Amino acid sequence: MTMKSSTRQVDGVTIVDLSGRITLGEGSIILRDTVRDLIGKGNKKILLNLGDVNYIDSSGIGELVSAFTTVRNQGGELKLLNLTKKVHDLLQITKLYTVFDVKDDETAAVKSFNK
C-alpha cells in the first residue's frame, strides 16, 4: 500500500492527513514534497495526522525528522497527531518521542500552536 496525503486548514493550522506506509521511496518522497510545498506557500504551522499510517521504516523516520527540522528552521512548528501503536513504539525506541510534540486530540493539537 502506497502513501496518500491530503491537506486541510483548521484555524490557521495545516493538517496533513497521511495514510499508508512511509518507507524508502514513494512514501518518503510524498511526505518530503508535501512539507516543502507547504513551507514554500508560507504554511508554517503543520500538524501531521498519522492515524492511518500503519507502517514506517527508518527512512520514514528520517523523513519525519527532516520535516521537523525543516519547519523549525523556517520559524514554524510541526507536530504529530494520532500515532498508531507501531509508530508510537518506533518513536519510543529511537528516543524521538520526546523530540516531537505528539498529540492525540485534533482540537487540542490545533489550539496548542503559537498564535
Task: Give the binding site for other proteins (CB under 8 A).
Answer: 23-25, 57-59, 61-63, 65-66, 68-69, 86, 90, 93-96, 99
- Single out the residue of 33, 62, 64, 36 nearest to residue 48, CA to CA: 64
Q: How far is the CB of 34 from other proteins (least distance, A)?
A: 16
The residue (of 23 and 74) whose beta carbon lies closer to other proteins is: 23
Q: How far is the CB of 36 from other proteins (least distance, A)?
A: 14
Q: How far is the CB of 102 from other proteins (least distance, A)?
A: 15
The residue (of 61 and 88) whose beta carbon lies closer to other proteins is: 61
The residue (of 101 and 106) whose beta carbon lies closer to other proteins is: 101
Helix axis angle, 58-73 relative to 26-40, nearest 10°?
10
